[in-house]
Amino acid sequence: MDVLHHMRLFVEVAKRKSFRAAAEALDMSNSTLSRNIAELEKTIGLRLLHRSTRKVELTEAGEAYFKRCQGIVEEAMSAHEALLDWSEKPAGILRVTMTSSFGVGYLTPVLQEFADMYPCIKFDFDVSPRAVDLQSEPFDVAIRMGPPPTAPSTLVVRRIAMMPRYLYASPVYLARMPPLEHACDLVQHTLCGRSFSSRQADIWRKMYRGEETVEVAAQARYATNSASLSMSMAANGLCISALDPLMAKQEVQAGRLQRVLTDWHMEPVLVHALTETRHLPARTRLFIDFLRQRLGAA
């Protein structure tokens, strides 16, 4: 029996508490995975997992074995990936979860360059704003915009970039609304802000100009967690939206949007890469480093 191989299979099942999820992450059949774990238990002489139709739980022996195995497997995988990295042929499927706004606005323009650099890597992108469980779901990395999450405590957070935010509106909107000369004038305007579930829903934004800071005490009429929707509403004359200039570039060039209060800016949005471990496969580490170089520079 290949002990390290079986340890890796066990660690995946233990992390995800599911044979099906582990089999998907390992790209093998459920029956083959179950047979390998049974072989491991037979060799050890102890039951490591409690199985039921609904869930999988670790036994006391399984808990102890998992704590020892996890570090061993991660170190072994790191050593293996380091050789692949050294040979400049990192391979495998890179599974990334991200928001639609990030995927369309930031990843797509630079993805071809990364794909050309590492032709043996395949990509599986999940587009969702929900909080994923990196321990139980088969993702290598989650890309999230905004403040870094504080839970779970085992999460590894790496900052990728700080994206600027400016105000945009359509010429049609501006023609029918009061003039905008100072950030305080925003109280007379229709704004699009974050989702109303946000703790900062009552106060729209803070605006900055040199050393001057203005807190715009106006409630947004529209709220969304989608930057794409916010941009579309502004382009259609519904409101003023806070947007990244890279995302708004096409609409500005087409004349559907223009920047307002051009000497003011907002707090930049942080972009983070979240992983469940510091020991990353070469493909994941290279992807994070690539985004940090490209988006951080931007």
| DSSP secondary structure letters along 249-291 | HHHHHTTS-EEESTT-EEPPEEEEEEES-S---HHHHHHHHHH
Supply the pLDDT for residue 193: 82
More confident residue, 278 or 144: 144
Architecture of domain 166-267: 3-Layer(aba) Sandwich (3.40)
Structural domain boundaries of the chain? 3-86, 92-159+275-297, 166-267
Residue 21, CA distances (Å) to 49, 91, 127, 135, 226 in order: 15, 21, 18, 10, 29
Amino acid at 195: S
Supply the pLDDT for residue 1: 57
- pLDDT tier, 200 (very low <50, low <70, confident <90, very high otherwise): very low
The tens digit of pLDDT for each residue in 140-193 reads 999 988 787 766 667 888 999 988 899 999 999 999 999 999 999 999 999 998
Supply the pLDDT for residue 82: 64
Evaluate whether the domain defined by 3-86 bears CATH number 1.10.10.10: yes
Asked, colleague to colleague, whether 92-159+275-297 and 166-267 share their fold, the answer is yes
Architecture of domain 92-159+275-297: 3-Layer(aba) Sandwich (3.40)
Q: What is the distance between the alpha carbons of residues 233 and 222, in angstroms, rounded to a whole number?
A: 9
Q: What's the sign of the alpha-carbon dihedral 240, 244, 245, 249? A: negative
Supply the pLDDT for residue 177: 95
Q: What is the distance between the alpha carbons of residues 203 and 142, in angstroms, rounded to a whole number?
A: 29
Mean pLDDT of the chain: 85
Record the pTM. Answer: 0.64
The tens digit of pLDDT for each residue in 86-111 reads 555 788 899 999 988 888 888 988 99
